[in-house]
Amino acid sequence: MDDCQLYLISPPHVGGVFPERLARALDAGPVAAFQLRVKEMDQHEIAALATPLQEICATREVAFIVNDSVSLAKRLGADGVHLGQQDGDAREAREILGPDAQIGITCHASRHLAMDAGEAGADYVAFGAFFPTTTKEVEHHAEAEILSWWQGLFELPCVAIGGITPDNCGELVRAGADFIAVSGAVWSGDEATAVKAFTEAIAVARPAD
């Protein structure tokens, strides 16, 4: 198994000092991707807030992913888009964003949805929530077993999401998560300290070669 990597998801508010916080987080340890997840704002406002964040990611070679909106991802020239089950189809997103875009699909705790996403051309599938979370309302609960099942059958990377902390991420890393997606556990406190804690926890949990 390749090394598990950290995938940061933004808090709901990314204005003010958030660009500085993002830079601190990305500088604190290896981060593979950053997802902009901002709700209840129009696209023009989000685009304005996104520009400095996108630049921070680009200078650190961190993938910049837009949540939900293919049109916003296209407008920003983002590295990719993450779609929920009601946000569109991977095939349509690919047509709009092109062959190089990273397209992720939320699959909850469903093996069927994950296989459908893979067949539709997704670049990764996301399972969760694995633990209770206050970041968003949880309708689906996933068990670590689904990560092991996926890894045993498919090459496509899988992301674990939902209530993940440095203290509980170990079982997901051992089960086969390629990426650990986190939000509240990083932004609710000191972001640099949190990223370092995740980096250490992932290293400790990583199976020996």
**Domain that includes residue 34, residue range:** 5-205
pLDDT score of 207: 64
- Indicate the number of domains in the chain: 1
Instruction: Name the pairing type of β-strands 124-128 and 63-67.
Output: unpaired
Q: Which two tokens stand for residue 71?
A: 């049109």
pLDDT for the residue 198:
98
- Residues contacting residue 29 through CB under 8 Å, at least 6 positions apart: 6, 195, 196, 198, 199
What distance, in Å, lies between the first and last C-alpha atoms of the chain? 8
pLDDT along the chain (209 residues), means of 10: 88 97 98 95 95 98 97 98 94 97 97 97 98 77 97 97 97 97 97 98 81
Nearest of 182, 172, 174 to residue 1 by alpha carbon = 174
Phi, psi (deg, nearest 5) at residue 144: -60, -25
| CATH, residue 34 | 3.20.20.70
Q: What pTM, to 2 d.p., does this model score?
A: 0.96
Q: What is the reported pLDDT for 1? A: 45
Looking at residue 67, its pLDDT comes to 97
